[in-house]
Structure 1
Amino acid sequence: MHEVNDPAPALDLPTDGGGRISLAALKGRPVIVYFYPKDDTTGCTREAQDFTALAPDFAALGVTVIGVSKDTVRKHDRFKAKHGLAVVLASDEDGAACEAWGVWVQKKLYGRDYMGIERATFLIASDGRIAQAWRNVKVAGHAAAVLQAARTL
């Protein structure tokens, strides 16, 4: 489990649009990394739309916003196009990043246990350390809270 002031784990993943993103390449800039379970589901769509609505505010602060799920790059491309999303979506198909960041967890649904991505967000300061972490995120108001925290960096 990664805590505030810990160095952020490495992140180097393929993205929508055939790109690639890494925290190493963004060192010296603040970054938001948010993990979400699945493209085009209700909560995940709302979260991506909320971050997209605030994209100009994050950009004004010099903050890069990266959404990460195990969906393929192709699914990310469709998800972005369908909803007009303006955040980078990174594909962690093999789950290595989810494991490294401690968000691949046991979950429960209708009494059944299964493994899945915990909705979690990390604010990474320009020095590469975790400035703030949100676990078991509730979507409503979350992107605005993250923006508020980013303003304090």
Structure 2
Amino acid sequence: MTVQDNMVVQFHYTLKDENGDVLESNLGQDPIAYLHGNDNMMPGIENELEGKAVGDKLTVTPDPADTYGEVIEDAIQRVPVKHLMGAKVWKPGMAAIVHTDQGQRQVTVVKVGKFMADIDINHPLAGRTLTFELEVAGVREATDEEIAHGHAHGVGGHHHD
């Protein structure tokens, strides 16, 4: 069975920076799961996994526009400090999570006051040429419910409360 639209794909990954240093990895943990062809995965990864099968391993270096996006200049927004998640005390340069209309977004704190913070809404890895080592761990037909919801359920996927 190969990766194609409306299939649930599970994979392990190791993300490396421009120097080959590991930034993150899920090796030895549950794989990530996503519903292929439903805008649930970075285009640079999804395109490379198309047609692959369980056990396939590949190393890809997609264009930054197809991973975390290009850097948007002057992408500073002011938000209430209480909307920043991930730490109790904030300092410039720290990564934070904020909720947006499109879901959670990782941002960088630029300046912080008592009640308000200026954040850079670019993802901290935006504009960088990164290398992903991928291994397909599972491929299966999506359920009708997963297709209706637009995302994978179960291990590595979305969990409903």
Query: What TM-score do you get using the length of structure 1 for normalisation?
Result: 0.28
Which structure has the highest strand share of the two?
Answer: 2
In our comparison, the structure showing a higher alpha carbon Rg is 2
Query: What TM-score do you get using the length of structure 2 for normalisation?
Result: 0.27
